[in-house]
Structure 1
Amino acid sequence: MSLQERAKFGSKIGVILATAGSAVGLGNVWRFPYMTGENGGAAFIICYVFCIVVLGLPCMISEFVIGRNARSNTARAYHKLGGRSPWMVIGYLGVLTGFLITGYYAVVSGWCLQYIYASVSGCLHGNPQFIRDYFVSFETDPLKPILCTIIILAITHMIISRGVKRGIEKASKMMMPTLFVLLLFIVIMSCMLPGAGRGISFLLKPDFDKMNSDVLLGALGQSFYSLSIGMGCLCTYASYFSKETNLAGSAVKIGVIDSLVAILAGLMIFPAAFSVGVEPDSGPSLIFITLPNVFHQAFSSVPAVGDAVAVMFYALLSLAALTSLISLHEVSTAFLSEELKISRSRGALIVTVLCTAVGVFCSLSIGGYEGLQLFGRSLFDVFDFVTGQVFLPVVGFLTCIFVGWFLPGQLVRDEFTNYGTLKGSFYRLYIFSVKIVCPVCIVLIFLHQFGVI
């Protein structure tokens, strides 16, 4: 596809909502709250916002620079700008990372669909042990999770097949505002519960005694994963930006939306949890095991309201998951359609089929099929570990080195300032962060998660 023929987002709001949708996902609504609960509440949030500014935004802008300048899929973008040097491997690794994440992320996304049905049908009424047993029974079922995975990938496929403007941008313009409306409504309901003030205080009143190196490094990791850095999504979406798009300004807006959703997710969950006496450090089980019981108890006097809140909550989760799945799917779709010179719809079909296969095996691997394990872990856990704890930090680190030390400085400055049409007041701070601060922070994250520091 030539430069003139390449698709573009049709509006500024489309750019922001689509790219923010890429960043906003289960990492904001699921991972952020339990990370906050385990790391001291407001103290973690302060560290997180600091890390978004110091690490997240420079890395995001760097992917924007590469994507818009190369005007191609992630793999070809690094090949174009890096020539036949080893740097081109970064692009292929980014595509592989996005593809693998699409497969296993669709499994968890499918769980959200199941919980919408469970909330509507009243299957989540019972004591905490009943709700735990319900989740375990569903997770280990050989068919139900697979069906949910296929449905969520089919929805993603339909959107991707319609193209950038009519598919991705149009869907984002509908889904992101809906996500915010649902989120705000549940936040209001949660904050009105008796005893909710303790949860609000936990989330917004910092206890600086809880700030330590573990909290800071945990916040660094969360900021990195929350913004979809290193997955190829941002680079691919940037290839659809117009030359008038303000890269730094867009990154700031997306970072603000992403952080706002994460904090609102905390305001949605913790006031309700404190209201019924649930500990804030319930961990990864918070969404599928702890919260159904929270909704049931919090609105026990009016069960219908509790059911309605649960339905809205899991609809919110499904929307967040879907916006991220769309961007992840697009990475592989753009790669196949451009590299194999096939139609977009055919490329999307191939990706959907392959990701469905990955999702099926990942789902079965946590459903008790021991043959689908590697190194004593389920395929789901292996893919999660390899992509999240190895590939993402490596791609992020190499991208910063590539932009900061390898690309011509004038090329980076031109993209940052839209070829002189913008002031670029923070360019020096940005390039310093990309050259020094970001690589050091990413190395610290990488070493910390393996227990080296």
Structure 2
Amino acid sequence: MNKRASFATRMGAIAATVGSAVGLGNIWRFPYEAGQNGGGAFILVYIVCVALLGVPVMLGEFIIGRSTHKNMKGALLQLSPGSSVYRFTYVCILGAVVTLGFYSVVCGWVLEYLLRAIGGGMTGHTPQEYSDIFSGFVGSPWRCVLWTLVFLMVNFVVLRRGVERGIERTSGIMMPLLFLLLVIFCINSLLLPNAMDGVRFLLSPDFSQLTWKGVVDAMGQAFMSLTLGISGLVTYSSYFKDDAPLARDAAIIATLDTLVAVLAGVMIFPAVFSFGMQPEAGPKLIFEILPSIFQQMSGGMVWAVLFFVLLLFASLTSTISLSEIPIMFLTEDRHMSRGRAIAWTAAGTLLIAVPSALSFNVLSDVTLWGMNLFDLFNYAASNVFMLLGGLFTAVYVGWFLDSRIIAEQLTNRGRLVSHVQNYTIVCLRYVAPVAVVLIFLYCVGLI
């Protein structure tokens, strides 16, 4: 029997898991949410939510994965023999494939814009022309599908190399470079005229601007930014070594994920305010406003290339972790070779990705509940699968998992002193379920 794969080093495991958490939402959503909801006040609430919701649920997934060194289904079968609780694995796998499918479309956009920037196509246009360029791109069926396929091919080539040589090595290179690029961008932005206006928009605490909506947004962002609920962290933690300090690593991962989001804001909003642009969120910020800013900077072509390289790193490390969820299940539960499991995962992903890419053009008239297919898959992933998975993890680990297993994992079988066991259990039993239900009720418009 082949020895099960694992991360070779603790730093490699942390880099891979941070890469799993850091994604486009850290860059195009968090800074804007902070600026619109009281700046530093939102960030403070967000940090509290990470501590009370994000880290405990992350630890719950770590405990399930590291205690068994198996995929989600195998772990639940081992931890709860004779129970049908393992069936929730299929919800997690479906959630991972749906998320990977629609998210890879945006990653394809990043790849197209990176190559466009390298070719000099990101300079010399008016703001309206940048908007027209983006509209023309997403309106082209073959270009959207092509770049989605190219990105997925890159993603699966990395995964074909395995856990240590593929996932760990790629994350170990990309994550330090991502932080380096962020710091370089931040320094450049802070040296621009009127940069402090952008810093104040992001960081100045104004609790009068922090509404109930802002608090729930902070809870949702804390939960979704860490990619909780679809067993990605169960998968990665199953590759952790038995001497990894789970509580300490969870704190490091959550801190670095938050740091990326804050640095992204420092990178973006001083530049936005310096050039008299309006702060925005989402694709409009990334593909229209920032290219317009870069072309006004000295060396704008270089800045545009570096920015889309940064986005590519954030995109790829996230999709690698999403892909590994079904791949690991198929190799362990269905006894497939890794190559065959990757092929099946790619096929399932394309069933979501291609309609998502076409929902901006030839399938734009196809809507369900008022949403096109891309928005529908996005909504299902964020507001259904992730929240259901997070609720499951909190309730299962907090109420049903043997507390001795929790203690063993947090103390590495007595080799470490842990002061967070009771804290983790209380948060999983009471805080996390209430928070997840509130987020869900808010998302569906009931509160």
Task: Note whether the superposition's TM-score is higher than 0.5.
Answer: yes
2:85 is matched with which residue? 87
Q: Distance in 2 between matches of 1:37 and 1:295?
A: 21
1:57 is matched with which residue? 55
The answer as to whether partners of 1:34 and 1:286 remain within 8 angstroms in 2 is: no
The answer as to whether partners of 2:10 and 2:240 remain within 8 angstroms in 1 is: no
Describe how 1:344-383 pairs up with structure 2 within 5 A. 344-370=338-364, 372-383=366-377
Q: Distance in 1 between matches of 2:432 and 2:367?
A: 35
Q: Which of 429, 432, 438 matches 1:435? A: 429
Q: Distance in 1 between matches of 2:6 and 2:426?
A: 30
The answer as to whether partners of 1:87 and 1:402 remain within 8 angstroms in 2 is: no
2:14 is matched with which residue? 16
Q: Verify: 1:342 aligned to 2:336, yes or no.
A: yes
1:261 is matched with which residue? 260
Shift of 1:60: 0.2
Shift of 1:449: 1.4
Identify if the C-alpha distance between structure 1 residues 400 and 275 changes in structure 2 by more than 3 Å, giving closer, same or farther. Answer: same
1:183 is matched with which residue? 182
1:250 is matched with which residue? 249
Structure 2 counterpart of 1:58, which letter?
P
Structure 2 counterpart of 1:191, which letter?
L
2:95 is matched with which residue? 97
2:378 is matched with which residue? 384
Q: Distance in 1 between matches of 2:150 and 2:238?
A: 29
Aligned partner of residue 288 in structure 1, secondary structure: helix
TM-score by length of 1: 0.95
Q: Distance in 2 between matches of 1:210 and 1:375?
A: 31
Q: Distance in 1 between matches of 2:366 and 2:20?
A: 30
1:307 is matched with which residue? 301
1:317 is matched with which residue? 311
TM-score by length of 2: 0.96
Aligned partner of residue 446 in structure 2, secondary structure: coil
Describe how 1:176-255 pairs up with structure 2 within 5 A. 176-255=175-254
Q: Distance in 2 between matches of 1:201 and 1:419?
A: 47
Q: Distance in 1 between matches of 2:163 and 2:356?
A: 29
Structure 2 counterpart of 1:130, which letter?
E
1:34 is matched with which residue? 32
Shift of 1:333: 0.6
Question: What stretches of structure 1 of length at least 5 have no aligned partner?
Answer: none
Q: Verify: 1:44 aligned to 2:42, yes or no.
A: yes
Structure 2 counterpart of 1:349, which letter?
A
Identify if the C-alpha distance between structure 1 residues 381 and 27 changes in structure 2 by more than 3 Å, giving closer, same or farther. Answer: same
Q: Distance in 2 between matches of 1:192 and 1:134?
A: 29
CA deviations over 1:51-99 (Å, ceiling 9, x no partner): 1111100000000000111221123322332334342232221111111
* Greater Cα shift, 71-80 or 310-319: 71-80
1:140 is matched with which residue? 139
Shift of 1:166: 0.9
Q: Distance in 2 between matches of 1:250 and 1:226?
A: 16
State percent identity of aligned pairs: 41
The answer as to whether partners of 1:97 and 1:387 remain within 8 angstroms in 2 is: yes
Q: Distance in 1 between matches of 2:282 and 2:154?
A: 29
2:76 is matched with which residue? 78
Aligned partner of residue 29 in structure 2, secondary structure: helix
Identify if the C-alpha distance between structure 1 residues 375 and 452 changes in structure 2 by more than 3 Å, giving closer, same or farther. Answer: closer
Shift of 1:282: 5.0
Shift of 1:151: 1.3
Question: What stretches of structure 2 of length at least 5 have no aligned partner?
Answer: none
The answer as to whether partners of 1:37 and 1:282 remain within 8 angstroms in 2 is: no
